[in-house]
Amino acid sequence: MLTKTIQDAINAQIQHELYSAYLYLAMSAHFEAANLVGFAKWTRAQAEEEQTHAMKFFDFINDRGGRVMLKAIDQPPTEYGTPLEVFEEILKHEQKVTGLIYKIYEAALKENDYPTQVMLQWFINEQVEEEKNAGLIVDQLKMLGASAGSLYNYDRHVGRREEG
């Protein structure tokens, strides 16, 4: 059985994960409007991944005999800048999510909640990958500079993101 502290923290994380999905969908819409279909595909796939993360937390609460309590999801911004600015924002967002997951892990440590610690290990590893991928794209966009031809080719490259 989950303690109230852990249940509340995981319910808050479900909200954060669903907000992340909304955020990535808004970014995808931004890229679609700019005819950057590769970046749009990448951010849309990321939105789907965030929904999957939310459901992992959702199922975990249910599996542990807890109660899922869904909270309102804030509206994400609708306007974004250049691809570099967007991916810098993505990196910052993923770093924030990492910090939120660490806080839940710290609470699980204090409460000797071993199943939650084990479940969170998957998310901790996932966040390493999320930050690495966003950071790589930021670094590569910085290397490309403002050349339209380079951005066009890189957009096509990013659009070939493996899903799964």
Task: Name the burial class of residue 111, with classes exposed (0-12), middle (13-18) and buried (19+) by CB atoms within 10 angstroms of its CB.
Answer: middle
Distance CA 24, CA 30 (A): 10
Distance CA 39, CA 27 (A): 9
pLDDT at 146 (0 to 100): 67
Residues 6+ positions from 60 with CB-CB distance below 8 Å:
10, 116, 119
pLDDT at 18 (0 to 100): 98
pLDDT at 1 (0 to 100): 85
pLDDT at 105 (0 to 100): 98
Both tokens of residue 22? Answer: 């909304």
DSSP secondary structure of 119-149: HHHHHHHHHHHHHHHHHHHHHHHHHHTT-HH
Sorted by where each starts, the structural domains of the chain and their CATH numbers stand as 4-158 (1.20.1260.10)
Residues 6+ positions from 155 with CB-CB distance below 8 Å:
36, 37, 38, 39, 83
pLDDT tens, residue by residue, 56-69: 999 999 999 999 99
Distance CA 23, CA 21 (A): 5
How many C-beta neighbours within 10 Å does residue 48 have? Answer: 13
The predicted model scores a pTM of 0.93
pLDDT at 164 (0 to 100): 39
pLDDT averaged over 10-residue windows placed end to end, the chain, 164 residues: 96 98 98 95 97 98 97 95 96 98 98 98 97 95 81 87 54
